[in-house]
A and B are shown apart, each in its own frame.
Chain A
Amino acid sequence: MNNFVELNFGPQHPSTHGVLRLRAKLDGEIVRELEPIIGYLHRNAEKLCELTFYADNLIFFDRMDYVASMLMESGYLEAAEKILNIPPPERVLWIRVIMNELSRIASHLVWAGAFGLDLGMLTPFFYCFAQRDYILDVFTEVCGSRQETNYMSVGGVYQDLTPEMIEHIDAFLQSFPKKLEEIYRLFVKNDIFISRNKGIGVLSKETAIDYGVTGPMLRASGVNYDVRKANPYLVYDKVDFDVPISQKGDNLARFLVRFEEMRQSVRIIKQAITKIPDGPFFNPKAKKSMMIRLRGDGEYYARTESPKGEFGVYIVGDGGVKPYRVRVRSPSFKNLSVLPVLAKDQMISDLISISGTIDLVFGEVDR
């Protein structure tokens, strides 16, 4: 049984979402064995964090999941602020929720567009990116940068949300749901799209839990686990939203769960911009001149819900101005580990669509 053709996908391949390399053993068109090879985008972010001040480490987190950098920042700050003992004021929590959810929508839009490309659909990609650009405009307004935002800081945010900014976010929320449904229909009203995804890449509940799969992939397999509900952080316990779940576990279920998450994110932001209280936008203990003198002691593991899954940050402080150790639990990496199971005995076309539904971002897998 050694007649398999060994085919090497990537790291430069049109549909590997960055630098994923897959070594596949093919029996005709059917994938018999699959081995993902990673590390092509390794930048040593965790070690670099040990060499840098607490407040400056944010830039490494911006560049982990670079399509949802706000969520990475807030995930790091969940842990760092506990270590440094600088709780952010109430208004900042709400601002962070707004930015997190905008970032989640942006990330899911990038995923939807790229997934369309994986299946050979050229057009939805542009529709998704056009909507994402409105979100990036909001980011530009609040922090001057589109992608690597570096908006949040220890104990606060870089600048306050002015009423105009909130107005712009509100204007986006008014137009976005209609456009989202348009994009949604482009996909699900297409019979070929359904036939390419229904029943393909079925991930069972048990396998998902065994492999540490989290996020929309886990919820599409029927496990009701969302860190925002299971272990509320920021002010997620004060907003009302649903966690979409599907029992099917196939490509289509993952697709539908992600689209429903975008709708829920819109719901969260709508509540947040009405409920946001007035107040300072940073903790006075974390003035800019004080940043490099912040000392942290103890250890803390913070988990947050990134668009890819549970994003965990573990920080050990030894009383110095720099962390002793930073460790990141990146959801994409854990989700990628289940790809060989899902793609076994599937066709090449299905391998591509399954790896598309995992939503891989290599800045985060390789760190």
Chain B
Amino acid sequence: MSIFSRLTSLFSPMGYPISEVLAYVVESAMLAIVASVSLAVVIYLFRKYMARVQLRIGPNRVGKFGLLQVMADGLKLAGKESIFPRKRDDLPYRIAPLMILVGLVMAFAVIPYGSLFWIGTLTVSDTSVSVLLLFAIIAIMPIGEVLAGISSKNKYALLGAMRAIAKDVSFEIPMMISVLAIVMMASARTASSLSINSIVLTELVPYGILQPLGIFVFMISMVARASYTPFDMGESDSELVTGYSTEYSGLRFGMFYMGLFGSILLGSFVISLFYLGGFNGPMQSSLGFVWLVIKAMIMVFMAFTLWLSMPRIRIDKFVNLGWKYLLPIAMINLVLSGTLTLLMGW
């Protein structure tokens, strides 16, 4: 029983249309709250982990073990004045950070989370085309970056936006092709092969084992999507100040910051669902969500380690990597998985 149906039955005394609308509103609010709390947790973990890696202690002043530091930082950012550049393009400048944040929260709505004890399935919205929907939503976020860079009317931001465009076109196609290979393999096993839920439920072994090339391409794409080092050419703080978000301050800057960590979390969830078996594991009906979170957290810490140990790659080298290596590898992966599906019926 999903949360949505529980909410509908809770509000059922109010009559049909109202109960459903209320259920949607309450569930969206819950999603937004849970998403921001989990982002705060990820940011806290990152800061503690980074401090450990760098021989430091990390936040330890606000709250026990600095647990409330992220909240304090958020409050500080919210209380700060937003400074607007005078020559900005007003509407795109204002909606750009929102696009990143809204795209992020929407993406969390369409991925399946498995079930947890008596609560049942935690999935917010389980559509039969969730693969398409997920990648359509993920594709919104780069537009926010580009809008931010161009509407700021700042040379650093413009350069950052140019790099973001070059980066996005070079990783998104290999990423989609490697997802295509999964959908193709899943179509041999399930009728609704565009639903992430049924892809995960019907898999024989995790697709990461069957498609090592695919997981390689997909993980690199997810690093580039979240744009942290080594692929943070768009922001590259030592070259372009902060790239496309240079002219943002206060809460709008906080939205970019949340977008970065949210993308890491989202990418980790998506990799675990597609390639690591997602919520599959022992006692799946009650512990599915726990398995998913464990797998996602392993991916999150892999991302942190990569971030902290790598220098930034140059943008032309990344475009090279995307078109000359990732794309052919993704193609080979597609052909290999097609052959496997035909021959073995996996």
Binding site for B on A (CB under 8 A): 5, 7, 13-15, 26, 28-29, 116-123, 125-127, 130, 186, 190, 192-193, 195-196, 347-350, 352
Contact = CB atoms under 8 A, between A and B. Distances in A.
Interface of B: 50, 53-56, 155-156, 159, 162-163, 229-230, 232-233, 236-241, 307-317
15 contacts: A29-B316, A120-B311, A121-B309, A122-B229, A122-B308, A123-B54, A123-B308, A127-B54, A130-B55, A193-B311, A347-B315, A347-B316, A348-B240, A349-B315, A352-B238
Given A127-B55, A347-B314, A119 B308 contact: no
Contact of B311 (A130, A196, A350): A196
Given A123-B53, A192-B313, 4 more contacts: A15-B239, A29-B163, A121-B311, A193-B311
Contacts of B54: 122-123, 125-127
B74 to A, nearest CB: 22
B55 A120 contact: no
A120 B159 CA distance: 17
A195 B309 contact: no
Given A7-B155, A120-B229, A120-B238, A350 B314 contact: yes
B238 A14 contact: yes
A193 B316 CA distance: 15
Contacts of B315: 29, 347, 349
B309 A126 contact: no
B309 A120 contact: no
A349 B314 contact: yes
A5 B309 contact: no
Given A14-B241, A352-B239, A119 B53 contact: no
Contacts of B232: 120
A23 to B, nearest CB: 12
A168 B316 CA distance: 48
A121 B307 CA distance: 8
B241 A120 contact: no
A126 B241 contact: no
Contacts, number: 84
B166 to A, nearest CB: 9
A123 B308 CA distance: 6
Tell me which of B50, B239, B240 has the highest count of chain A C-beta atoms within 10 A of its own C-beta: B239
A13 B155 contact: no
Contacts of A15: 238-239
Contacts of B309: 121, 123, 186, 190
Contacts of B314: 195-196, 347, 349-350
B9 to A, nearest CB: 50
Contact of A5 (B56, B155, B236, B311): B155
A127 B55 CA distance: 7
Contact of A119 (B56, B238, B241, B307): B238
Contacts of B163: 29
Nearest to B308: A123
Contacts of A349: 233, 236, 239, 312, 314-315
B55 to A, nearest CB: 5
B316 A119 contact: no
Nearest to A13: B241
Given A14-B238, A14-B241, A120 B53 contact: no
B308 to A, nearest CB: 5
Contacts of A190: 309-311
